[in-house]
Amino acid sequence: MSIFPYVYHMVESFHVTDNDRKIALYAGLITSSFTFAEFSAGMFWGRMSDKIGRKPVLVMGLIGTAISMVVFGFAPNLPTAMVARALGGLLNGNIGVLQTTVAEIVTVKEHQPRAYSILPFVWCLGSILGPAMGGALSQPCDNYPSLFSRDTIFDKFPFLLPNLVCVVILVTGVVVGLLFLEETHPEKKHRRDCGLELGNWLVAKCWGSRVQSAEADVKADTADSGYFDDYDEMAPPPYRSTETSPRLSPVEEVDNLSDDDDIEKQMDGQSGGTPKAFTRQVVFNIIGYGILAYHSISFDQLMPVFLSTPKSDTDVTLPFKFTGGLGLSTKTIGLMLAVQGVYSMIAQL
């Protein structure tokens, strides 16, 4: 989200055209190159996470985004900027992987809606901080002449600074992911994780005594209250832990299946062992979500362009016939988009 306040001015600085309408077109190409590349690579990263695990894919997505933003910050022309954004989309198609990870962490179905609501909540937080930062830090030699002098790298690349700050945040995310993110893939989570071991060692060195005492208290409380026994009863059959659940006989397993499980088994039998994923309800959800995304991304793209485009002196016939925009600065646009993020966060809560 950090590029939206300044993407129009960035294209304008490339001097590819003096026509405001074409500048808006090229700005749209830059932003859409990311989403198209992400769309193209999404299925690949989903399959890759099934083969090598969720954690490596999520960490590689952060690294790929960091590389993309470095190239984007140093972009001297329009093609380089488009390639940089497309590279970020290709290396960061992990939204589905992230949602799968949440589903594998939160196995109690009653808790999943709340868990899934955290993802758009954090997105709203990023949509507040990202545009505000991107708008405030772009063109630093013009906005902060006392801090950033001319004839420096930030004068030659006026949109590098916000990308460097984003890279620092992404590197922090990579470090946190390597040290503290646990693998959730059922077949991969039991393998050795050197990064997680290092993270646990660092935590033990820094807060060892306090963490151990807190864990001991929690285990004692839960053992007395029988929490884990209750949890096992609450969990649906596919998510029962094999360590604490008694092994049922085949007859008992069949008797304990729910109606949903019977339906799934029938579907497996009808399709030769392969469940039908694209049911009518799923297709309707995909179509509805696609329409929503079309509207949302169109607004995210057009609003900053309208705010950035210089004012026009031509005749206006409202509501549909008018040219030009409001001619606002990047800082003002970033602030307006941040306020929009605040509204979104309140609605999400």
- pLDDT digits 0-9 by tens, 8-47: 899 999 988 878 778 888 988 898 898 889 888 988 998 9
Task: Note the pLDDT of residue 234.
Answer: 42
Task: Note the pLDDT of residue 219.
Answer: 54
Task: Note the pLDDT of residue 178.
Answer: 93
Q: Name residue 321's beta-bridge partners.
A: 317
Task: Note the pLDDT of residue 189.
Answer: 83
Task: Note the pLDDT of residue 237.
Answer: 39
Q: What CATH code would you report for 7-191+290-348?
A: 1.20.1250
Task: Note the pLDDT of residue 260.
Answer: 46
Mean pLDDT highest for which of 199-208, 245-254, 263-272? 199-208
CA dist., res. 43 & res. 255, Å (int): 37
The pTM assigned to this predicted structure is 0.72
Going from N- to C-terminal start, the domains of the chain cover 7-191+290-348, 209-259
Q: Are 324 and 20 in contact (CB under 8 A)?
A: yes
CA dist., res. 266 & res. 275, Å (int): 9
Could you tell me the pLDDT band of residue 186, with boundaries at 50, 70 and 90?
Answer: confident
Taking residue 62's Cβ as centre, other Cβ atoms within 10 Å add up to: 22
Q: Are 89 and 41 in contact (CB under 8 A)?
A: yes
Task: Note the pLDDT of residue 209.
Answer: 56
Could you tell me the pLDDT band of residue 221, with boundaries at 50, 70 and 90?
Answer: low
Could you tell me the pLDDT band of residue 227, with boundaries at 50, 70 and 90?
Answer: very low
Task: Note the pLDDT of residue 254.
Answer: 40
Task: Note the pLDDT of residue 122.
Answer: 85
Task: Note the pLDDT of residue 159.
Answer: 93
Q: What percent of the chain has pLDDT over 70?
A: 81
CA dist., res. 326 & res. 57, Å (int): 42
- pLDDT digits 0-9 by tens, 121-171: 888 888 889 999 999 999 999 888 888 888 889 999 999 999 999 999 999
Task: Note the pLDDT of residue 62.
Answer: 93
Q: Name residue 317's beta-bridge partners.
A: 321
From residue 321, alpha-carbon distances to 314, 316, 317, 324 in Å are 10, 6, 5, 11
**Could you please report the per-residue DSSP string of 239-308?**
G--TTTSPPPPHHHHHHT--HHHHHHHHHHHHTTT----S-HHHHHHHHHHHHHHHHHHHHHHHHHHHHH
Task: Note the pLDDT of residue 198.
Answer: 92
- Give the mean pLDDT of the chain: 80
